[in-house]
Amino acid sequence: MESALTARDRVGVQDFVLLENYNSEATFIENLRRRFRENLIYTYIGSVLVSVNPYKELEIYSKQQMERYRGVSFYEISPHIYAISDNTYRAMRTERRDQCILISGESGAGKTEASKKILLYYAVTCPTKDHMVTLGDRLLQSNPVLEAFGNAKTLRNDNSSRFGKYMDIQFDFKGATMGGHILNYLLEKSRVVHQNQGERNFHIFYQLLDGGDDDLLNTLNLERNPHSYRYLVKGNCPRVSSISDKNSWKVVRKALEVIGFTEEEVQKLLNIIGSVLHLGNTLFGEGEEGETYITTENQLSNVATLLGVDGSALKEALTHKKLTAKGEEMISPLNFEQAVSARDALAKAVYGRTFNWLVEKINQSLALKADIYHSSQGASVIGLLDIYGFEVLQLNSFEQFCINYCNEKLQQLFIELTLKSEQEEYETEGIAWETVQYFDNKIICDLIEEKHRGIISILDEECLRPGETCDISFLEKLEDTVGGHPHFITHKLANGKTRRVMSREEFRLLHYAGEVNYNVNGFLDKNNDLLNRNLKEVMCQSENQILSHCFRREEVIDQKRPEMAASQFKNSLMKLMEILMSKEPSYVRCIKPNDAKQPGRFDEVLVRHQVKYLGLMENLRVRRAGFAYRRRFEAFLQRYKPLCPETWPNWNGKLADGVSALVNHLGYKAEEYKLGRSKIFIRFPKTLFTTEDALEAKKPEIAVTLQKSWRGYRERAKYQRIRHAVIVIQSAWRGMKGRRRAKRRREAVQLIRRFIKGFIYRHEEYCDENDYFLDHVRYSFLKNLRKNLPKSVLDKSWPTPPALLVEASDHLQRLHMRNMVIKYCRRVQPEWKKQMMQKVVASEIFKDQKYSYPHSVGRLFLDSRLERAQISLKVLQTLGSEKVQYGVSVIKYDRRGFKPRPRQLLLTNTFAVLVDRTKIKQRMDYAALRGISVSSLCDGMVVLHMPCEDNKQKGDALLHCSHVIELVTKLAMMASKTNYVNVSPGSIRFAVSRTKEGIIDFIRGPELKVAKGKRGHLLVTAPPSSAS
């Protein structure tokens, strides 16, 4: 910040604390004007940020600007909304204490925009995850929704917030957003039914009519022309050139979707908005006997349909009221004025409660999710308070009274916390605290809120008093109760001069910011804000889920009178004060430079009015009561060390000693400064300015020193070059060799440099920095690939490619494999193809299941193990047209007794036969074959399971074959029963007869042996290995 002090004559000072004449309001405003003229809209008062609305877009809110302020000390660079946002965020993380930012100012000063900028800063700069991105979007999108339903065009601002908003943003221990919560205060419900000249109703009504599609408007029975609705033309300003209601409607619909509103909820919400417009067009007539009736039945029907209530019940409730006297209920008709008031009260109640439901729904969307965060113990909070500033209008009523009461409480809190933080800093640094004289506005707060004697208590009491009460009787009671208070004046109590400018219906309060006259007309009605009981009963029966949530049946049953509006606001304000007191506050004070919303125009009278009502001069006096400037030792020493020979260029001792040496050399007087434990405190801005001017004057000397050093270095380098050249000339015979060596080294360096740079940029797109390296990588890989190509289709090895050639390598590998496969296939003869098919089937059946399988892989399967001559001619004749496809010698074991018998097993296309020399002993049809069982050991046993029921098949066959894998593979392929082969690791069961089973047990032994066991089982001893 100090770097801008030298330009203070042109752009002013960045911190009002540094103003020499800090008691002068004119000097304060002139500093604001200078900075505003240079588009410097932000200025500090210590840690308070003063913001002037520029009424134009400035290039100071980019992501680059956010990064510039991120993690930077508060005073290091120029004032900005991002600086206070970042300072608050860092304080929350380092001190683990909840923070809050209080944004205040009058309508049109830029409070809403300031809160948006803070939210955007946190959304962009805070660490996020996928679910946090969604939460950040919802936080940002809550603004357009709340603005649509809670903002309106006023005389001072086209987008004026007509409610107060406090938002808590929750952060986890890593500093990432994880939830949010919004509190709203004092929605201006009276705007629904009445607007001053030149003002509009809430934005949502105009957005719906201008942006809603035809089908939606037909559903709501609405027309596009806002002049058709009485609630929208009271201010005679339905259209505003600076507002695009159609575009805003699109933004609001998208925001509702992002926040999580369902289509049904949106439709119910819009039904309520449409019903308010129809309710405003519901008119009444008065009969000859004074009875009131509704003249616009169609409008009433639309209202009932959209609200989801019974039309006749609504009609009755709008024209009659229910009274309870001595336990009995009576129905009393309403006169014309009472009916109109009941209609308007219903419109205000429906809209106000719907707005509260909307805030509640947004809070549910922003709420901390238990499934994502198992515990919120480590959570910290930053609160954002965007609330109306002090208001002084031509006619000040109940709303201005509440708003200004709120500002009195905030000013009281502001002064207390500012003094407290100042005192804590002084005590931390060991500086004696001096008592500060300031105006304590507690006397005004007590005047308004004191129990039984405060203005709010008197107002409530007057509303509850039986008999005829009116606003004038309330004023008279005020005069009787608080008439002697020094900050309260009425026409009756005032002197002659004051009476000339005060109405008999007004009372004046002397606020901290100035005098305000309040007109009591309407105070009682607005404080009562009651809805007839029978209207509540109708709304409780609504089929619209939003309204049934807003109007509880308990309200009708409960005979207790609801709390008055002023007391409600007072209690909610007390809770807000508790929330703010529990947090470390930061402040943003917003100022409107002119009423015309023109960029570059600075209205001094208007600005002076706001400076006064914001209490900025009071804040400055409190801040300047002690020392104007304070900095940590290291920052002060780093900046001003060139001014002292002892500290220049570097100070190696204790920081406090270095600062002490520096200020002694500069000639600071004892009353001008104090040294704390880690900071220096300077009392007068003039002392700092003198120091800064001395630094500015010292800069040319510093520049000369730097120039001298540079020139000396340059001359020494020149001398070294000359000396080197002389040595080269004197050493001519080494010159050529040296040059050649140098040339080779240079080339090597360039090559290495290109390689290193290419390696660094290897993951980037092909460019000048990495082209040589990437080309070399490609060339090396391809060269290596040529030497190490697989020679066989069985060889799956492949050189590992670099990252940039993974895709190309995959293509080359597929192409090479395809090429090898094509070449191999072309060389394969039909008999080899048949052999491979059989080997594949054998692998599927026996691999990793039978121990003898690996020995069979390398041995060819023969077409037959029997020569043609070995097969009996008689057998061949018996087979007829069935040709023998495969034959092999086997030993058949009887199922009973297990007697071995040599046999021939012949396989045809449809069946297999067991032959004893010239006679076919057993025929086994493939269709009847139920399974083939072999053991997992190195024996040659195979069991062919055949059905016992069929006498032709003769039951299971127990065979021993020296080529069991070959036999089973061919049999399974011919019978198409490869899935029927069972490789059993233990015993094999077989059918002896229809009712009896036999078992073959297998054990390991030194040699193959098949014999009957002790238990009547067939015992097969398998050798360790076999070539089966």
- The per-residue DSSP string of 155-218 comes to SS-TTEE-SEEEEEEEE-TTS-EEEEEEEEE---GGGGT---TT--SBHHHHHHHHHS-HHHHH
Match 């000249």 to its residue by tokens: 197
| Cα gap 1024→1002, rounded to integer Å | 12
Instruction: Pull the structure tokens for residue 691.
Output: 């120091």
The count of residues in the chain is 1028
**Tokens matching residue 961:** 């074959």
Where does 563-655 show beta strands of DSSP type E?
A: 584-591, 629-632
Give the C-alpha distances (Å, rounded to integers) separating 342 from 192, 211, 312, 534, 963.
14, 31, 16, 11, 106
Catalytic residue among 383, 389, 676, 998: 389
Query: What letter represents residue 566's amino acid?
Result: A
Rounded CA-CA distance 696/640 in Å is 10
Asked if 268 and 274 count as a contact pair (C-beta separation under 8 A), the reply is no
Q: Which of 115, 159, 161, 275 is catalytic?
A: 161
Q: Is 514 a catalytic residue?
A: no
Copy the structure tokens of residue 514. Answer: 């100035």
Phi, psi of 1007, deg, nearest 5: -150, 165
Q: Name the nearest CA neighbour of 886 among 973, 967, 957.
A: 967
CA atoms of 588 and 585, how far apart (whole Å)? 10
Question: Which of these, 41, 139, 39, lies nearest to 83 by C-alpha position?
Answer: 41
Q: Using CA atoms, how far apart are residues 346 and 550, in angstroms rounded to an integer?
A: 13
Residue 225 known to be catalytic: no
Q: Establish whether 161 is a catalytic residue.
A: yes
- Fill in the amino acid letter for 152: A
**Catalytic annotation on 160?**
yes
Specify the DSSP class assigned to residue 86: H
Residue 758, token pair as written in the block = 């290419």
Cβ neighbour number for residue 685 with a 10 Å cutoff: 21
What's the gap between Cα 248 and its chain centre?
23
Asked about 78 being catalytic, the answer comes back as: no
| Three-class secondary structure of residue 590 per DSSP | strand
Which of 107, 271, 275, 856 is labelled catalytic?
A: 107
Task: Please pick, among 391, 618, 672, 692, the residue that the annotation labels catalytic.
Answer: 391
484 is catalytic: no
Per annotation, catalytic residue among 108, 110, 274, 955 = 108
Residues 6+ apart with CB under 8 A from 85: 69, 101, 117, 118, 121, 122
Token pair belonging to 453: 């004697």
CA distance 343 to 309: 15
- C-alpha torsion sign, points 682, 683, 685, 687: negative
How far is the C-alpha of 515 from the C-alpha of 84, rounded, in Å?
A: 32
Could you count the other beta carbons within 10 Å of the beta carbon of residue 130?
6
CA distance 397 to 519: 5
The CA–CA distances, whole Å, from 439 to 20, 204, 261, 513, 618 equal 22, 43, 48, 11, 8
754: Cβ contacts below 8 Å, ≥ 6 apart: 772, 773
The answer to whether 607 and 31 are in contact (CB under 8 A) is no
Maximum distance among all Cα pairs of the chain, rounded to whole angstroms: 151
Among 115, 143, 160, 319, the one annotated catalytic = 160
108 catalytically annotated: yes
CA distance 200 to 206: 9
Cα 834 to Cα 136: distance, rounded to the nearest angstrom: 68
Annotated catalytic residues are 107-108, 112, 157, 160-161, 389, 391
